[in-house]
Structure 1
Amino acid sequence: MFVRAYLRASTIEQDASRARAALEQFAASHDRVIAAEYLENASGARVDRPELLRLLKDARKGDVLLVESIDRLSRLPVEDWQRLKAAIDAKGLRIVALDLPTSHQGISDTRGDEFTNRMLGAINSMLVEMMAAIARKDYEQRRERQAQGIDKAKAEGKYKGRPVDADLHKRITELLKAGLGIRATARHADCSTTTVLRIRDAIT
């Protein structure tokens, strides 16, 4: 059994590796080790995530796709989720999520009779679908609340957007023009790579 751990955070500022210890402890509790790790900072609402696509390319039938929770795997609209789920199923991957106990049988050595296995498999599949739908709904509600908050602030004349840091903008521009890469520029300017990319796109 080959266990592939997928760890995702939404932005560069967040730590995608945060759940590593919990995933390793879970695998060890089932006498398994994580054989491959796929780590990335990308929105779960995007289907074109390089590390997730690499995991699917590497996967073989019977492998375990280990995640902290289903929302680390997907916050996708239903059509995109169905395509992703179909790709996972086509590869013969078994989704195991720490917060979904019915999925834990996928990493366990225990095997019941065929009827019990099929019943547990059907229940787990239903719960995975439900949690994926909840994850998407949560994403949409947070985006809606954010937009409403911005609209209200604008109506009250309180929303100015993010203030421009002229000194930081100048520093990043100088570093980029000097030929430094995105990560090196972020390190020297003491900012996120997202900020560097935004400024780079504005000046090109």
Structure 2
Amino acid sequence: MFVRAYLRASTKDQDATRARSQLENFAKERGLRIAATYIENESGAKLKRPELFRLLADCQPGDILLVEQVDRLSRLNKDDWEALKREIMNREVKVVALDIQTSHVLLQPSDDFTFRMTEAMNGMMLDMLAAIARKDYEDRRRRQEQGIAAAKAKNKYQGRPENAERNAQIVRMLERGDSWNSIVAATGCSRSTLSRLKARVVERSAPANVVS
């Protein structure tokens, strides 16, 4: 049995490794060692998450998928959550979440009856918390959209604030002549952001018009 930790944050500006030490301590307290850690910055509302599915592909039957909370694993809609569950079940992976006490029992040896009862209870808890995580996601999105609509109505909406530190780094890389591919790989910025900053660099370096 291998323990595989999954760490996720929604955006590249967030620290996906925030709970790493918490998961490592949890495993250590139970005499276990995390064999591999999979880290990604993707929305939990997306089923397509490369690192999560790499983790599952690496798993052998009986391996543990360890997460801090269920919402790190899923903020999926019902159909996508069912698809992810099928993948987990087909690979015979046990999901252990720090916020689900019943799941901790899966780390301990048990007879077949106890294991099946625990697995059933754990499945129900997973379903319930996944549904709560999805509702929280939808509620936050709705409040965000309402706030944006209200700000637009008052002509006060300015969009997402600029990441000044990252953009300054990108500008320096552009001025240095770094390739777009290397800048995207290093900073995680989109090509539309890169294009906008490139235009800013060009505008700044253009000579001022001289009036005779």
Q: 1:21 to 1:170 in 2, by over 3 A?
A: closer
Q: Please name the residue that 1:160 is paired with.
A: 158
TM-superposed deviation, 1:50: 1.1
Q: Please name the residue that 1:39 is paired with.
A: 39
Question: After the TM superposition, which residues 70-85 of structure 1 pair with which residues of structure 2 at under 5 Å, given as runs?
Answer: 70-85=70-85
Q: Please name the residue that 2:149 is paired with.
A: 151
Cα distance in structure 2, aligned partners of 1:26 and 1:72: 16
1:179 aligns with 2:178: yes
Contact 1:173/1:199, CA 8 A, preserved across alignment: no
Contact 1:175/1:185, CA 8 A, preserved across alignment: no
Q: Please name the residue that 1:138 is paired with.
A: 136
Cα distance in structure 1, aligned partners of 2:34 and 2:82: 26
| TM-score, normalised via structure 2 length | 0.82
Contact 1:74/1:136, CA 8 A, preserved across alignment: yes
Letter paired with 1:123: M
1:90-146 alpha-carbon deviations (Å, 9 max, x no partner): 00100000010000011123x15x433322221111000111111111001100000
Out of 114-123 and 29-38, give the one that drifted further.
114-123
Contact 1:68/1:99, CA 8 A, preserved across alignment: yes
Cα distance in structure 2, aligned partners of 1:139 and 1:182: 31
Q: 1:170 to 1:51 in 2, by over 3 A?
A: closer
Alignment equivalent of 1:118, drawn from 116, 119, 125: 116
TM-superposed deviation, 1:161: 2.2
Q: 1:163 to 1:30 in 2, by over 3 A?
A: closer
2:18 partner SS: helix
Q: 1:74 to 1:158 in 2, by over 3 A?
A: same
1:7 partner SS: strand
2:19 partner SS: helix
Cα distance in structure 1, aligned partners of 2:13 and 2:167: 18
TM-superposed deviation, 1:164: 6.9
Identical residues among aligned pairs (%): 51
- List alignment gaps of at least 5 residues for structure 1: 187-192
Equivalent pairs counted in the alignment come to 195
Cα distance in structure 1, aligned partners of 2:21 and 2:130: 24
| TM-score, normalised via structure 1 length | 0.85
TM-superposed deviation, 1:174: 7.0
Contact 1:96/1:106, CA 8 A, preserved across alignment: yes
Contact 2:70/2:130, CA 8 A, preserved across alignment: yes
- List alignment gaps of at least 5 residues for structure 2: 200-212
Q: 1:171 to 1:99 in 2, by over 3 A?
A: closer
Q: 1:64 to 1:164 in 2, by over 3 A?
A: closer
Letter paired with 1:142: R
Contact 1:67/1:73, CA 8 A, preserved across alignment: yes
TM-superposed deviation, 1:76: 0.7
Q: Rg larger in 1 or in 2?
A: 2
Contact 1:3/1:63, CA 8 A, preserved across alignment: yes
Cα distance in structure 1, aligned partners of 2:50 and 2:183: 18
Contact 2:170/2:183, CA 8 A, preserved across alignment: no
